Copies of this chain bind each other. A is one copy, B any other.
Amino acid sequence: MHAPASELPVIAADILARVRGQNPRVHCITNAVAQTITANVLLAAGAVPSMTLAVDEVGQFVRGASALLVNLGTFDAERRAATVVAIDAAAEHGHPWVLDPVFINRSEPRAAYARELVTRMPKAIRLNRAEYTALAGTAADESAIASYARGRNTIIGLTGATDLVADGARLAAIANGHPLMTKVTALGCAESALVATCLAVERDAWQATAAALLIMGIAGETAAERARGPGSFAVEILDALHALDRGTLMAQARVS
């Protein structure tokens, strides 16, 4: 039986506890701007990041990891070569992987590449509305994303003022988060890495994706209470993520 959206706060708390208990390693192929904040978000959540892009060792790193992130934010030859090897290794060893098709709305070659990667069966795709439209060719309404997710056997995690998480059958709407999250570079990229982290400890990809977006949104709200601007916000969200407890998750979640 599928858990309804109302159970997501409990599920998210359970998943976070498992991340902290198991410290899964998550391999991240991500853009240069996002690498440091992504590593720090994963460490704050309890995971262990690895980031190498070298083709002759990325396969070995992915094999020993529990999940993989592929972020298209810097679309260079080295990362494209690493991506092929990494996805092959993930497929071979049954590791889940997440696609973050950053800025595909600004570059047609990048969008075409993202569409090709979708055929390699990512467990989840995290993106914003403009990126979804560039990927799917339709507006990002609820029935469209559900249909897209069903057709590709994946999860769509669509972030915005309200985040939507669809797997074709289930849909969660998460109203947590804060506008300062868009004023710190690459927090969305780091959030995709957190989706990969949750997938490392939870096989239900819809639950894992929703848990990651909920955890990040609530950490963002806690951070915003303490921050005086985007500089301190970037610091506080790491502290908040590291300290996030079950009670805060349950009390703050706005999920439907």
Complex: chain B residue closest to A229, CB-CB: B239
Q: Which residues of B contact A185 (CB under 8 A)?
A: 36, 39-40, 43, 49
A contacts with B: majority SS: helix
| A interface bracket (residues with beta carbon within 8 Å of B) | 35 or more
How many monomers of this protein are in the complex?
3
Bound form: Cα–Cα A103–B77 in Å: 24
- Cβ contact within 8 Å between B231 and A238: yes
Question: Separation in Å of the A100 CB from the closest CB of chain B?
Answer: 14
Q: Which residues of B contact A232 (CB under 8 A)?
A: 235-236, 238-239
Question: Separation in Å of the A46 CB from the closest CB of chain B?
Answer: 9
Question: Separation in Å of the A72 CB from the closest CB of chain B?
Answer: 10
Bound form: Cα–Cα A54–B31 in Å: 12
- Cβ contact within 8 Å between B32 and A51: yes
Check: A148 CB closer than 8 A to any chain B CB: no
Q: Which residues of B contact A229 (CB under 8 A)?
A: 44, 238-243
Question: Separation in Å of the A117 CB from the closest CB of chain B?
Answer: 16
Bound form: Cα–Cα A32–B53 in Å: 10
15 contacts between A and B (CB under 8 A): A32-B35, A36-B186, A39-B185, A40-B185, A40-B230, A50-B106, A53-B74, A54-B74, A60-B107, A76-B78, A230-B238, A231-B234, A232-B235, A232-B239, A234-B238
